[in-house]
């Protein structure tokens, strides 16, 4: 089979590419239409939308139900939790972590935040304080930590694809 009859390969593909490039240069609207078409697959999301995801997560913690929290994660999550040495990489493993963790009635508060948005992902990085309550005594402990939330648009909703939290290496001053 010659390179001329291979569909997208060889000279045919090169000729199409050259034609599209020439059209884009000659007619600015063509390039804009291509760019707009490319963005049609990207969900609309703002910094405020990404920040609201944390309230959703904190509200899920407040239910005390590990299934509600786990439902906020993608089908292929990564959870690197502050108080666990085990990476959690399946919904079942994420749920298992929250079964125990939610007993301490965690409440999170964002201290610093940086948000970045891409087509199918959004990232929120910073520091937070998670207040834990000892189930036996009621004593509260604040855990200061760094966090990374990476959200992915999956199944028509923004979900947590990756969550990493680690305690601050230095004592608070």
- Report domain extents, the chain: 3-39, 47-167
pLDDT class of 40 with cuts at 50, 70, 90: low
For the segment 83-109, what is each residue's pLDDT rounded down to a tens digit?
Answer: 899 999 999 999 999 999 999 999 999
CA distances for 103 relative to 54, 62, 100, 140, angstroms: 20, 10, 6, 13
- pLDDT, mean of residues 37-43: 64
Residue pointed to by tokens 């000892």: 134
Which CATH entry fits the domain spanning 47-167: 3.40.50.2300, 3.10.450.50, 3.40.50.300, 3.20.20.70?
3.10.450.50
pTM of the model: 0.75
The answer to whether 107 and 95 are in contact (CB under 8 A) is no
Instruction: Please report the pLDDT score of residue 59 as a whole number.
Output: 98
């Amino acid at each position: 089979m010659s390179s001329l009859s291979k569909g997208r390969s060889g000279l045919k593909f090169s000729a199409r590419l050259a034609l599209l490039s020439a059209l884009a240069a000659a007619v600015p609207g063509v390039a804009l239409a291509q760019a707009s078409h490319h963005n049609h697959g990207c969900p609309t999301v703002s910094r405020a939308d990404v920040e609201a995801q944390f309230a959703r997560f904190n509200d899920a913690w407040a239910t005390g139900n590990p299934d509600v929290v786990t439902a906020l994660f993608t089908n292929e999550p990564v959870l690197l939790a502050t108080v666990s040495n085990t990476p959690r990489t399946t919904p079942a493993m994420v749920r298992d972590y929250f079964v125990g963790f939610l007993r301490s009635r965690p409440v999170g508060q964002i201290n610093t935040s940086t948000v970045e948005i891409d087509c199918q992902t959004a990232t929120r990085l910073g520091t937070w304080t998670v207040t834990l309550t000892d189930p036996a005594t009621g004593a509260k402990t604040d855990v200061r930590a760094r966090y990374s939330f990476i959200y992915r648009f999956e199944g028509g909703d923004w979900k947590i694809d990756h969550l990493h939290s680690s305690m601050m290496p230095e004592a608070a001053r």
